[in-house]
A and B are shown apart, each in its own frame.
Chain A
C-alpha cells in the first residue's frame, strides 16, 4: 500500500513518491508522522512508513509530513510553547508545557539575567518560551531568549487569558492560509500568543472582549478555511453589544 500526497493516509502505508522532480536531490526530509525502519527486519526497510492518521503533505522540494489530529504535546526542538511555572528550585523553574513531564527553564535563560539579577517569576505565572532541548530520554529544556541573548517576543505573559485547545487549532490559526487572525484584527485590536503545545493566550482592552475572542478562536477548530469570515462576522455582531 502506498500513500499519496494530499490524500488521507493511515499507519503502515509506505511513502512512494515519484522522485523525478527532485531527482538531483536524493534526500527526502521526513517530518511528523513518517519514520524509517520501524520494523527491524522488514523487506521494505528502505521506504519510509507512515505512523499517523491524517493527510500526507509535501512541502517543496521534498519535505514530507502528516497532518494529523493531536491534543497531547510532544516536545520538539525550536517549538514556541506557553508554559505554567509549577515549581521553583535553586537554579531552575519547572514549567508545565502539556507534555509528559515538566520542562526545565533556567534562571539564566532570560534577557539580562545574572546570578544576582534573577527574573521575577513566581509559581503560577505564564511564560512564553522556546524549546532548546527535546530528547525522549531527557526532560525538555526551555529558554526565554534567542541566540543573541535578546528576549524578542518571549518572556512572561501578564494579564489576558490562556486557554487550552488541540494542537491542530494552533497550527490552523498560525497557518498562512487561515485569515482568522487577520480578519479579527480588523474588528478590534488584541494581543495573541500561540504556543504550539496547544495553548493560546489572548488579551485585549476588556475582559468580555477577550472571552469573546477566545470563543471565536475555539469555534475555528471545525470551520474550514473559506468560512472563517462567517465566524468573524458573528464576532463583530456580538462585539457591538459590548460597551
Chain B
C-alpha cells in the first residue's frame, strides 16, 4: 500500500509490503522516497547458552549495508535498532529465547536509519510478537541556511572514501542530521541519534516538527494493519 506525498507536510511518499519473505516469521519492505529497506524477524528461537537470559528474550540485530561488508558504523546502528526493539517488544514474555532481527539496506536516498527502524517495526508487527507500542522514526536535516527539512531526499554521490572507520553516512547538503524515534501511545521520544553541530533551539524545533510528522507514519501503520486484517 502507499501514501502519497503531501506537500504541506513535506514527507516523502511511503510504500510498504508485509510478509515478502516466505521463510521468516515476519518480514517487511518499506520505501520512503528513494530509500528502501527490508527487515526480517525470526523468533522466538532457541538461544545459544552464551546469550541466554532467564528473564527475557535475547534480541539479536543484524544490520547489513547496501554494499560492502558491515563495518563499525553498522555495529553502531545495530546497537540503536537493538535497544529500540527491546523497548517495543515485550521481551519478558519470551524468556530463554532469542529473537533475531535483520535489516538490509536496499537503496540510500537519505534517512536510511529511520527507514530501517520503520521496516523493523513493520516486520515485528508482521511476526505476531507482542509489542508495547509501535515506533516511528523520522529523519530531519539541517541545511547550511539553518532551515529544517523533514525527511529530505538526496541522491548520494558515489562514495570513494574508504577508511577503517566509516564516516557516518551524512548527506553533504546538511550540516546537521537528526533521527528521532517516537512511540505510538504517548507520541513521546524514545530514541535520538544526531549528527553534526546545531543549537538547542534548532534541536527542539526539529524534534517538534518530527513529532508532528510521526503522526503520518503511525496512520500509515494503522492502514497497514487494517489492510492485512481483512483477510484474517
Q: Do chains A and B touch in the complex (CB under 8 A)?
A: yes
Give the Cβ gap from A127 to chain B, nearest Cβ, in Å: 20
> Which listed residue (B95, B126, B130) contacts A33, Cβ 8 A?
B130
Render B189-232 as a binary contact track against A, CB cut-off 8 A, 1 for contact: 00000000000000000000000000000000110011011111
Q: CB-nearest residue of chain A relative to B93? A: A136
- Known interface pairs A12-B183, A12-B184, A136-B94. Does A52 touch B128 (Cβ–Cβ under 8 Å)? yes
Query: Quick one: which of B54, B131, B221, B230 contacts A51, CB cutoff 8 A?
Result: B131
Bound form: Cα–Cα A11–B130 in Å:
8
Minimum Cβ distance to chain B for residue A99 (Å): 8
Contacts of B184 in A (CB 8 A): 10-12
Query: Which of A64-72, A109-117, A182-190, A204-212 touches B?
Result: A64-72
Q: Are B225 and A12 in contact (CB under 8 A)?
A: no
Q: Which residue of B lies closest to A225 (CB)?
A: B231
Give the residues from 58 to 113 in chain A that come closer than 8 angstroms, CB to CB, to chain B.
Answer: 67-72, 74, 99-101
Contacting residue for A69 out of B19, B45, B94, B95, CB 8 A: B19
B173 contacts chain A at the CB level, 8 A cutoff: no
- Check if B225 sits within 8 Å of A10, measured CB to CB: yes
Q: Which residues of A contact B225 (CB under 8 A)?
A: 8-10, 53-54
Q: Which of B128-183 contact A (CB under 8 A)?
A: 128, 130-134, 183
Q: Number of residues in A with C-beta < 8 Å to the partner?
A: 36
Q: Mark A178-222, 1 if CB is under 8 A from B, else 0.
A: 000000000000000000000000000000000000000000011
Known A38-B90, A53-B125, A136-B93; judge A10-B132 contact (CB<8 A).
no
Given A11-B130, A12-B133, A69 and B185 touching (CB < 8 A)?
no
Interface size class of B (residues with CB under 8 A): 35 or more
Q: How far is the CA of A168 from the CA of B126 in the complex (A)?
A: 12
Residues of B within 8 A of A222 (CB): 231
Contacts of A9 in B (CB 8 A): 225
Residue of B nearest to A44 (CB): B185
* Chain B 35-62 per-residue mask, 1 if CB under 8 angstroms from chain A, else 0: 0000000111111000000100000000
Q: A72 contacts which of B19, B25, B54, B93 (Cβ < 8 Å)?
A: B25
Contact B44 A72 (CB under 8 A): yes
User: Is there a chain A Cβ closer than 8 Å to B97's Cβ?
Assistant: yes
Contact A69 B90 (CB under 8 A): no
A70-B127, A71-B26, A72-B127 known; A136+B232 contact, CB < 8 A: no
A39 to chain B, nearest CB (A): 7
Q: Check B131–A52 contact: CB distance below 8 A.
A: yes
Interface of A is mostly: loop
> Is B82 at the interface (CB under 8 A from chain A)?
no
Chain A residue nearest in CB terms to B54: A137
Q: How far is the CA of A38 from the CA of B133 in the complex (A)?
A: 11
Q: Does A224 contact B (CB under 8 A)?
A: yes
Is B96 located at the chain interface by the 8 A CB criterion? yes
- Choose one: A8, A101, A224; the contact of B222 (CB below 8 Å): A8
Separation of A53 and B127 alpha carbons in the complex (Å): 10
Within 8 A of B (CB), among A120-155: 136-137
Name, among A1, A10, A11, A52, the residue most crowded by chain B CB atoms within 10 Å (CB to CB).
A11
Residues of B within 8 A of A35 (CB): 90, 130
> Would A72 and B43 count as touching, CB distance under 8 A?
yes
Pick from B44, B96, B132: contact of A39, CB below 8 A.
B132
Which residues does chain A contribute within 8 Å of B94, judged by CB atoms?
Answer: 74, 100, 136
Task: List, in ascending order, chain A residues with CB within 8 A of B127's CB.
Answer: 70-72
Q: Are A68 and B232 in contact (CB under 8 A)?
A: yes
* A contact residues around B98 at 8 Å (CB): 100
Report how far A137 CA is from B56 CA in the complex, Å: 10
Listed by A's residue number, 29 A-B pairs whose Cβ atoms lie within 8 Å are A8-B222, A8-B225, A10-B184, A10-B222, A11-B130, A11-B133, A11-B134, A12-B131, A13-B185, A51-B90, A51-B130, A51-B131, A52-B128, A53-B128, A53-B225, A54-B225, A71-B26, A72-B42, A72-B127, A99-B44, A100-B46, A100-B98, A101-B96, A136-B94, A136-B96, A137-B96, A167-B128, A221-B231, A222-B231
Q: Other CB < 8 Å A-B pairs besides A12-B183, A49-B132, A221-B231, 19 of them?
A: A8-B225, A9-B225, A10-B225, A11-B130, A11-B131, A38-B132, A53-B128, A53-B225, A67-B232, A69-B128, A70-B25, A71-B26, A72-B44, A100-B44, A100-B96, A101-B46, A137-B96, A223-B231, A224-B231
